[in-house]
Structures are given as C-alpha cells and as structure tokens.
Amino acid sequence: MRELLDLAASRGVPVVRTTRDVLDRESQHGVHQGVTADVDALPAGSLDAFTARLDPPPLIVVLDEVEDPQNVGAILRSMDAVGATGLVRQTRRAAPLEGAAAKASAGAVHHVPVADTVNIARAVEQLKAAGVWTIGLDASAEIPYHQWDLTLPTALVLGAEGHGLRRLVRERCDSVVSIPMRGHVGSLNVSAAAAVVLYEALRQRSRGR
C-alpha cells in the first residue's frame, strides 16, 4: 500500500481516504483489496482505424453477443499479449468494459482499442471490403483453425457461449474453423478458444523472424 501511495504521489494522482462501504460500492462489490481508481477510458476505436494499415496485417477480434464480462476481460488480456489490433463489439448486448471485465483483463482494457458497432454482420462485411479475412470460430466447422493462414489480415469472429455465432453473422464470414476436441466436452470456453487461435496467429506470424 505504501508503494502504491508513493507511486500515486510521484505521478500527481490525488488520493482520497474513505470507508470500506464506499470502496465496495465503487467496485460494484468486487474484490478491491482496499483500493479503487477512477481511470479514463481509451478513446473509442473504429473499424476504419483498424483497417487503415495492412502492413503489418491487422489481427482483429469481433464479438457476437459475448456478454459475460469475465470472458470479455480475458479475451482483451490475450489480445494485448499477442499484440492484436483491436476489438469489435455490438453496442447492445455487450459486457461493460469496467468492473469485472477490467479486472479480468489485468489492465489490457486500457491498451486494446475497442470499436462499437450497431450491427455485427454489417461490420463483418465492412472488414471484408477492407481486405480483412473474416474467420468465424464454431465447434461444428470442418476446417481446423491451424490450417488457416493467419498471417493474412484476419478478423476472428467469436459467438457467445451456448448458441455460438448467429446464423447471419456466420454466413457473412469468409470461412469458419474449429478447434479439434479430443476429450469428453464439446467445446472450450469462448475466452480460452480465443486465446488458442490468437496464439496460433502469433506463432504463424513469428515464423522466419
């Protein structure tokens, strides 16, 4: 705590001492460990900004009705780890990027640009028009994810747990791939699935360096 207070003082961040009840309320009753902070959100991203440069090729994640904040936070954490370009999500039925999502992201929410869109299917079409390959992830797809060339400009499209990609969004994707499963469960948690494919993209893009 002393180190944290010294760091705040050195950066000119004002510190207010308050009660645990206030901290509980400010953190929406999350595990705050005695400290909360008000942090400005990143400026909103945009699809145009994500596709403005194709060198290096963008690596974008599109979330189709993924509402669980823990999953969204974990996906942002994986995106930051691999240096992904940005996240696209729908303005409605999307997890807020604060509280549980921010904590699960381990701070990545403040580094990964996020673009909100009214219509995910239309956003997929816009990405395709900009030269980005849109790759849906679905457990029933026949193509294993590692067989796709992820060195290309890529947008990974992920659906919510339970129902997966909506039909209209899936039909808009250039291709749909799956993660092979060898055990008893049929699929991975959406954030775990995102991490698997994102790191495959990093592996492919790192070859020959």
pLDDT tens-digit map of 78-92: 999 999 999 999 988
| 133 backbone dihedrals φ, ψ, rounded to 5° | -80, 125
Q: ∠ CA 132-53-123 to the nearest 5 degrees?
A: 40
Q: Where are the domains of the chain?
A: 1-38, 47-206
Full-model pTM = 0.88
Q: What is the pLDDT of residues 38-66, one digit of tens each?
A: 877 777 889 999 999 888 999 999 999 99
Pick 47-206's CATH classification: 3.60.20.10, 3.40.1080.10, 3.30.450.20, 3.40.1280.10. 3.40.1280.10
Q: What is the pLDDT of residues 83-127, one digit of tens each?
A: 999 999 998 878 888 878 888 999 899 999 999 999 999 999 999
Contact (Cβ atoms closer than 8 angstroms) between residue 77 and residue 108:
yes
Return the pLDDT at 191: 96
